[in-house]
Amino acid sequence: MLPRIPLALGAMNYLQILRDASFLELLVLALLMGVSVASWGLIAMKHTQLTRARAQSLTFLDTFWKASRLEAIYQAAQGLEGSPLSKVFCAGYEELSKLAQKEGDAGAMSERLGGIENVERALNRASTAQLTELESRVSFLGTVGSAAPFVGLFGTVIGILNAFNAIAEQGNATLATVAAPVGNALFATAAGLFAAIPAVVAYNSFVSRIKVFDTEMANFSADFLNIVKRHFFR
């Protein structure tokens, strides 16, 4: 029968680590804790935003391809504020409506110089605006993922320097006196990795999902322009 190992054996005393840390080490740990909390909050917010955008975009595409009138699609798109595709469509439809109101009928509108180019520019502007909104604050996660390990390493270096200075003053360099301070100093590196790893994973995931939205908006804009050309600019 194997001997039972006490749970406390080898466990880190985090409170003691904080007590033994210098002011600069505590500042590093507080900074890493702050960016970690901010990262998790941003991860939750962006995940909710992108999930909502995906669900509403699927609903909008289903409505778009099934409906027979642009007015009906526009009314349905008004209730899908979280979908980038619906925003792009609304921008193109509103520009098309302005051209129709100015010219009075589709025949005159087809002769209007730059009419289809105006619709295309409206779609491109809306796509760029939606892409910017989707990408907002995502770069913060990339910054945390790349910088947090180095901040943690800086805290570890400061802790090791302080530990060796204290050992030099005491004149006692046995393994017992060296191991604990150096081990405590490594806690800052662990804190940096704890903040960086989720941020990097979330950053890569969000960038990949946003690229899909970018491609979908480009494809939808091309499809919408083809429909407009066939029916209004013949």
pLDDT (tens digit per residue) in 159-171: 888 877 877 777 6
pLDDT at 109 over 90: no
Residue 90 token pair: 């609304």
Which pTM was predicted?
0.82
Q: How far apart are CA 141 and CA 105, in angstroms?
A: 50
Given pLDDT bands bounded at 50, 70 and 90, which one contains residue 118?
A: confident
For residue 180, what pLDDT is reported? 67
Query: Which segment of 90-99, 136-145, 203-212 scores lowest on mean pLDDT?
Result: 90-99
Q: How far apart are CA 228 and CA 230, in angstroms?
A: 5
Query: Which residue type occupies 58?
Result: L
Query: Which segment of 1-10, 87-96, 112-121, 171-180 scores lowest on mean pLDDT?
Result: 1-10
Across the range 48-56, mean pLDDT stands at 96
- Residue 183 makes CB contacts below 8 A (sequence gap 6+) with none
